[in-house]
Structures are given as structure tokens and as C-alpha cells.
């Protein structure tokens, strides 16, 4: 079978790094996610994977840990709301819907740029159930109208917030909270310092220049977002280096995470967050 060639913008192409990380994790003796489909998809793409910059064992571990935590929170939400809508934004080639295999009562919408959705169609098996893909920029105003507003929603966006300007993210969150009766937002973010330092490093010609120049938004105080919409409240968060069962990781990955947690700014550099919202009377 011919391997698929890639023609994406630098920001769209970042989903290759997360895909490759999940494939690398899957190849370890004790995978965190065990995403075999990611491995198969990597083999079907004609690409020099070294360009992703994902090489070290802790890169794969950190990205897999982040994905696993978002899977867990999504699973908890769907257990409590079996007739929910899932908005999986900036889905890339992530197999979250395959990993979670939701009940047929769940409505699932995977959203990313049209070019990325086109690749998804070509490379990933169609999941069972009430599933749709939508090609759009999440910063556009009208795509959300294609998601019926009749159910509680869980909106998951992994690896997206850093690529948005604050005003774009604020409007996105306000549109979601304004449309659905209640729900949760599950996402990851970088610290303000990591965004600032990475941009400066990129300007000096550092690695992954094009990607880091596209990073705009970071967060230090999760309560900041509560001011963005009445009814939006912070539930909890978890730094990636504080995730449970790190002791099960291979030694190199454990060491990398241990060091990350101890360099200045390292511990707080990346985390996953959970918010809830409801329409106030
Ligand atoms: C780092 S990748 C993460 C992909 C996926 N969530 C994962 O974990 O594998 C970032 C993704 O965000 C998508 N993205 C960035 N800005 C977007 C926008 N404005 N609208 C839709 N997708 C966007 C990119 O196309 C890319 O697929």
C-alpha cells in the first residue's frame, strides 16, 4: 500500500509529534496508553519522524501521560452523562474515540482544520456509534452551530491552547459555555514562562522554531478563566510531572521527568485542567 504524503502547515503538523509520541509509547514494554493504532498510522505515513523533535523517552511519556489523564476525565464525564455530546477539538490523528469506545448513546464530534480531517478520513478506521468529523478552525464563529445544543457537553482540547491568542481562546470558551446547558472543559496548557522562553529560544534559532513561534497563550493561575464566563468554575488540575504511577515508567523516562520537575520553571511548565460550567438562570 502507498504511504501517505503529508502537506500541512507547521501548526497542523504538530499533530504528527503527538501521534509519534503515542506510537513510541506503544512500543515500550509497559505502555502508558497502549495506542497500537498510532503505531499503525505512523507506519502508513511517508515522513521523516525525526523532524517532530520527539525523540527522548520522556517526550513520549509526558505526552502519553497527558493524553491518559484527559481520557480518564472524559471517561468519568461519560459515565455520569451517558447521553452527552463530546466535542473533541484539535483532534489531529488522535484515537481518543477509539480508545474510549463510547456507548452508542454518546454523540462524538472530532474537529480540526479541513486538511487534518481529510487525513483522518484516509488513515483512521471509522469508529462505531454516533460519530462525525468536522473540518473547521475552532476560531471560526459558525462551526459550533453544527453541534446540536440539546445535551451536556464535554469539550476536550489537547495541544490546542498554546496555539491560540488569549482573545481567541476566550471567545471559544464563551461560545461553548453559551451554547450548551452544562458541561466540562478538559484541556492542557503551558505556563506563561514556558511560552515566553520557548518563543525567545525560537527567535535565537533554537530547535522547532516554526512551532514555538506559533505559541501564544500560557496560564499560571487556573482561576483566571473563571472570569471569562458566568457559571464557569475551575474543578482541578494536574501537572504532567505529578501524574500517578510514574514509577512504572522506563528508567530513562522517569529520569527525564524527575529532571524536568527540578529545572527552574520545569515542574509547572505543563498541566491538564478540568473546568465545569452551567447556564445560570
Ligand atoms: C499538538 S497537535 C494536537 C493534536 C491532538 N490533539 C493530539 O493530541 O494528538 C495540535 C492540533 O491543533 C490543531 N489546531 C490548531 N489550531 C487550530 C484551530 N484554530 N482550529 C482547529 N484545529 C487547530 C492542529 O491542526 C493540530 O491538529
- 109: domain CATH number is 3.40.50.150
Residue 243 pLDDT: 83
Q: Is the beta carbon of 19 within 6 A of some atom in ligand 1?
A: yes
Q: Which atom of ligand 1 is nearest to the CA of 88?
A: 6
Q: Is the beta carbon of 59 within 6 A of some atom in ligand 1?
A: no
DSSP symbol at 145: G
Q: Is the beta carbon of 137 within 6 A of some atom in ligand 1?
A: yes
Q: Which domain holds residue 208?
A: 4-278
Closest Cα to atom 24 of ligand 1: 12
Residue 257 pLDDT: 82
- The 3-state secondary structure of 241-276 reads HHCCCHHHCCHHHHHHHHHHHHCCCCCCCEEEEEEE
pLDDT at 57 over 90: no
Residue 258 pLDDT: 86
Q: How many separate domains does the chain show?
A: 1
Asked if 237 and 184 touch (Cβ cutoff 8 Å), the reply is: no
DSSP symbol at 31: -
Lowest-pLDDT choice from 170-174, 227-231, 247-251: 247-251
Give percent above pLDDT 90 in the chain: 74
Q: Is the beta carbon of 162 within 6 A of some atom in ligand 1?
A: no
Amino acid at each position: 500500500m502507498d504511504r501517505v504524503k503529508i502537506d500541512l502547515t507547521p501548526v497542523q503538523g504538530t499533530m504528527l509529534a503527538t501521534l509519534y509520541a503515542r506510537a513510541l509509547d506503544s512500543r515500550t514494554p509497559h505502555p502508558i496508553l497502549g495506542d497500537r493504532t498510532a503505531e499503525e498510522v505512523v507506519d502508513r505515513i511517508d515522513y521523516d519522524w525525526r523532524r517532530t523533535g520527539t525523540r527522548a523517552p520522556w517526550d513520549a511519556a509526558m505526552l502519553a501521560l497527558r493524553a491518559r489523564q484527559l481520557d480518564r476525565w472524559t471517561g468519568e464525564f461519560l459515565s455520569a452523562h451517558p447521553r452527552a455530546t463530546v466535542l473533541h477539538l484539535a483532534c489531529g490523528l488522535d484515537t481518543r474515540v477509539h480508545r474510549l469506545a463510547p456507548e452508542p448513546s454518546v454523540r462524538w464530534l472530532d474537529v480540526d482544520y479541513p486538511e487534518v480531517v481529510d487525513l483522518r478520513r484516509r488513515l483512521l478506521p471509522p469508529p462505531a456509534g454516533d460519530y462525525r468529523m468536522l473540518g473547521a478552525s475552532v476560531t471560526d464563529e459558525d462551526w459550533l452551530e453544527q453541534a446540536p445544543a440539546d445535551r451536556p457537553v464535554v469539550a476536550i482540547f489537547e495541544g490546542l491552547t498554546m496555539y491560540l491568542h488569549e482573545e481567541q481562546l476566550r471567545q471559544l470558551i464563551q461560545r461553548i459555555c453559551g451554547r450548551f446547558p452544562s458541561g466540562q472543559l478538559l484541556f492542557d496548557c503551558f505556563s506563561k514562562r514556558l511560552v515566553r522562553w520557548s518563543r525567545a529560544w525560537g527567535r535565537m534559532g533554537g530547535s522547532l522554531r516554526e512551532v514555538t513561534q506559533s505559541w501564544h497563550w500560557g496560564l499560571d493561575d487556573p482561576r483566571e478563566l473563571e472570569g471569562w464566563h458566568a457559571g464557569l468554575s475551575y474543578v482541578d488540575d494536574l501537572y504532567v510531572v505529578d501524574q500517578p504511577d510514574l514509577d512504572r515508567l522506563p528508567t530513562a523516562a522517569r529520569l527525564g521527568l524527575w529532571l524536568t520537575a527540578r529545572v527552574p520553571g520545569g515542574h509547572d511548565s505543563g498541566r491538564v485542567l478540568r473546568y465545569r460550567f452551567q447556564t445560570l438562570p
